[in-house]
Amino acid sequence: MKKILLPLTAAALLLNLNACVNTEREISTTSKDPRAVFTPTPERERARLSSRTVLNTVRASHSFSDPATKDNFVLQLRGPRVLTARAHLIVTSAKGDTLRHEVLPARALLDERSLADPRVATVREQEIAILRGMNTFFRPDQFSQPAVPPAAEQPAELDIQTWQALRADRSAIGFDYPADNSRNERRLTYIRKLGRAVIISQ
């Protein structure tokens, strides 16, 4: 009986010793005490907001460059603060081609009612108004067809070839959006004959 117990006892001691060695090895490879109380990273050492920080993004799909498919419209607010951020307007085709990438000041998203409202005076209220402006940026009534009315005159910024190609395409779609703080609007359209997007009003 003793002959049987001795090998079993030796095996048990060997397993226990191996477990202790493994535990000591695991503890020795970590630099933190598992019993230590968690301490958050000081605020000054956390990741800082920069001009590349995305604060908000809105998306929409709408017919634009191809009547058979819908293009992707994205408005992305980037910057350290809403009020001083930049709004990136990005239009891509269903194939992934970039048709337009324009950068607007965040304040361009403040509508006339917000600018005229004396209650929208604080920074916080203006930031809320900008975010609301993003939510309505791609309203259906911002899109029109044809892109130019039949009686429209040729804009000074367009050459005759571009204007004639645009006038000939009655299915061209125009998208209106605020250009800057002066509340001027731009109309973006895509001329299929020329294969490019153009601004037809400023």
pLDDT score recorded for residue 121: 72
Question: What whole-number distance in Å separates Cα of residue 73 and Cα of residue 67?
Answer: 15
pLDDT score recorded for residue 52: 85
State the pTM of this model. Answer: 0.72
pLDDT tens, the chain, 202 aa long: 544 444 444 445 444 544 444 433 333 344 555 455 545 555 455 457 887 899 999 999 999 999 899 999 999 999 999 999 999 999 999 999 999 999 999 999 987 666 666 666 788 888 998 999 999 999 999 999 999 988 888 988 899 999 999 999 999 999 999 977 656 789 999 999 999 999 987 5
Q: Where exactly are the structural domains of the chain?
A: 54-201
Phi, psi of 182 (to 5 degrees): -80, 0
Phi, psi of 177 (to 5 degrees): -155, 155
pLDDT score recorded for residue 51: 79
pLDDT score recorded for residue 71: 97
pLDDT score recorded for residue 82: 93
> Distance from CA of residue 105 to its chain's centroid?
15
What are the distances in angstroms from CA 80 to CA 52, 106, 107, 124? 8, 12, 14, 14
Angle made by CA atoms 56, 58, 62, in degrees to the nearest 5 = 165
pLDDT score recorded for residue 21: 41
pLDDT score recorded for residue 180: 73
3-state DSSP percent of the chain in helix, strand and coil, to 5: 30, 25, 40
Write the DSSP assignment of 151-183 as a string of letters. TPPPPTTS-HHHHHHHHH-TT--EEEEE-STT-
**Pairing mode, strands 196-201 and 54-62:** unpaired
